[in-house]
A and B are shown apart, each in its own frame.
Chain A
Amino acid sequence: MTKPSNPGHAGESVHGHVFRLLSAHARNEGVLLDLGCGLGAVAASCAEIGLDYLGVGAEPDGLAELAGRGFSTAVVDLGEQAALLQRLEEVLAGRSLAAIVALDLIERLTRPAELLAVLGEVARKHPGAPLVASVANVSHFDLAAKLLSGRWDVTSEGLLDERQVSHFAPGTFEHELSRAGWKQIKADDLVARHSDQHFPETLTALSAGTPLHDFLLQVREQSGPGALVDQFVRAYLPVAASQLTAARRPMTPASKGASAPFLSVIVRTQGRRLIPLEDNLTSLAAQTNRDIEVIICCHDTADSDHAAVVEVMERLPRWLVGKIRTIRVEGGGRAHPLQVGVAEASGRYVAFLDDDDLALCHWVDEFDKLVRLRPGAVVRAGCATHSIDEESWECGTGYSQIGPTTTPYPLEFDLVAHLVGNRTPNCSVAIPRSCFTDLGVSFDDELPVLEDWAVLLSASLLCGVASTPEVTSLYRRWKRGYASHLEHPEETWDLTTWSIRGRFDARPLLVPPGTVSRLTQMEMTANTVEQLNKDLDLLKDALATSTAEVADLWVEKGQLLARVEAAEQLLAVAEQRAAVAKRQVKVAERQAAVAEQHVAVAEQRVAVAEQGAAVVTQGVELAEQRAAVAEQHVAVAEQSAVVAQQSVALAEERVVFAEQRVAAVEQSVALAEERVVFAEQRVAAVEQGAALAEERVVFAEQRVAVAEQSAAVAQQSAALAEERVVFAEQRVAVAEQHAAEVTAIAEARFHEFRDAEARAKAAVAERDAALARLDEAVAQAEARVRTEFEATKSWKATVPLRVALKLVDAYRQRSG
């Protein structure tokens, strides 16, 4: 395959790095031995540092070309290792060796350690002469990404040179040189962001900025050094012959771990609180599962305090004393002792306790059970908490519990919730040690607090989490004194929380199965909340409108009340006027009575006049005239009476009218009151509407809470179902094995039965034949006896014969 151009380290070459190493570490004079020299890439620069160049190799064309350029060369078959030492000494011909150079050579050998061992012998004879070697790094990210994409592109040269037969990653390269007796003195590796294997450009795993590329690069970089090293370029010196070990074995699958404990427990202490530490260690001594080691990391601990910790440790039961040790850790922040403890740990899992934490008896055992169910996962159990406080008693100081025990932390692990904030005390998880040794997870000493949260997130994103709600530990909070939650202000916690969130927000994450459901649920919940917020806004608007309406109605009510008041005033006026009218009627009536009195007086005068006519005979005419006058008076009086009656009628009509106006005013008042009542009803209705709106808000919040609870229950059910499936599969496997064993036993017993049956039949046949023979013998004996009996004359002589016949009869009865 044609190798494309390599923009990654344009302008930089392996030879420049080699030259730097030679300038710094080669001896000042002598021969530079260039093994597998090819076209002698370093030959020209050799003279610059005052060394004699000698190119050796097995390719005549290259050597001839070098010789043509005036450089010394020699034919040496590096594959002939039996004679190699002698041959190299021949070509050196007693000259001093300044350095050995092996560029792109080691990876082309099937057993490079053997050549390296010979070179070591050569170099030891010239003290100070280094080996400068360059080797391709097959753990470069480009190759890793391409392998994951199913590609392994061998090229004519470069990282996957077609002549390579050995392949090296940082660890294997170091191991190979070390076992051949070389000690590194300087590394000047060639780093290339893009190696010659960075093709095709369209491969997603190679495209920076894609989540796949960024995630894989992150994993590779965290997993160890060399992610972007193209060539290892390093200088070595041979170790003294006496330091060569016999264990020059090639790398084998790691045996470390076979005898390692299940759990390394890192106990972090400053040695200041001895009683809580003693309680902590007692709780470890009480563990039902003892497959542990305990490393007490004494951080910045005074000598006297450390001695006290050791004394506490030595008092523990013997089984634990053999598994516990202290490490003194100086400097650094809270995370430092944890990191040192992890580096010292040998268990398959690592768990962490602060000296004031307590484990319940089954703390280790529950972790162990979870690991058996989900090997490789971060394991997490339930955790309880209570408050404690320093105390002084008559005979010393200590501490005591000052509050009830509660379980405020979620009993199941939820990654999404943990990305927002820490919900897991450090004492309730155990993390695969491989996370730290192979995946680059580490406690960040730059973090003032929450270093455990950052580690839990890193580990859980890579390993997943297996949880149990079983409470197995106690995280205790001090009321006063030294404690992280008291030592650091609230702002530090907030800033650190945001900082850690930012770190994880900036990188692509590998999320576990179920995350889509979780996010869907969150999105739906968010939508619901959004809708409820909108409803709430609408209801608030409606409430505002109603409030305004209520205010208007109150104004209207005021106006109506004013009108009612005015009407009442009018009514009062009308009533006054009616009273006046009544008084006028009474006056009219009195006038009418006066008129009637006048009529009566007139009649009396008529009567007087008639009496005068009778008395005064002479003046009839006068009398008649006076009568006529009188009649006229009467007429006038009658007219007055009529007028008086009309006045009475008029007064009555005015009374009626006044009463009608009173009634009208009363109706107005009633109407006004009805409108007031109606206004109050509308106010009440609007207030009910507002209360209803508030109830709908509360109901909506309850629906959100219920939705979240349902989600949690669903996740728990899912985890439980997975566990049941695993358990069911195990039971099926056991049942199948049992069935196979039972079948085998049944078949064997069936064969035994058939054999026994055959033997029984043969025995029966044999018995029947024997019985027949016996019958025949008895019959013959009887015949003989009867013959003898009949022939015998003496009765006494027949006695034994009769006895014999009775014996025959007895036999027949028994066998019959």
Chain B
Amino acid sequence: MRKISIVLVTVVLMIMVGCTKQSDSGNNETTNASFDSIVNAIKEQMAKDLKEAGIEEEVLVDGNIMNYFHTNLTASEESDPAIPVWLEKMQLQQEDIANGTVIAAMMSVNADEIIVLDAKEESKVDSLKASLEKELQAQEQTWSQYLPDQYEKVKQNVIKTKGKYLIYITYSNPEQIEKVFDDQF
């Protein structure tokens, strides 16, 4: 009887170890999705949406969407004056991220804002999420006044974490961008 239970326990333990291993490798897969491919897929989706909305000129030029700012958060602060502003605005430490991009509408009265962050370590994910929530508060403050259609986008904002990747979506159909993000894993 005792022998049988030892065998049973061993088998159960092995199965558990096996499972943990598997889910571990699953996690690894998650982090293998590349930051660039996520951002590019998002840009392509945005370009497609703009096309469908009736914009005739080429929207995606040299990897940038026309009339949107693209800010590379890990570039040197001198290279783009918007970088320190975004970092301070979100209380974000540059050394906490391996990669980071902000895509935001340039000057039209448009709340579109998509942020993708790639944490340097898993332990930083929580504080990065707090940064994104801070940005959401700022957008609430900015848009709640009297631009109902844009405020609607902010209210439907999505913040999502997958492994070391975080995404912030203020957009007319956030589910679509969310799906593009999910499909990368």
A and B pair up? no
Which B residues contact A (CB, under 8 angstroms)?
Answer: none
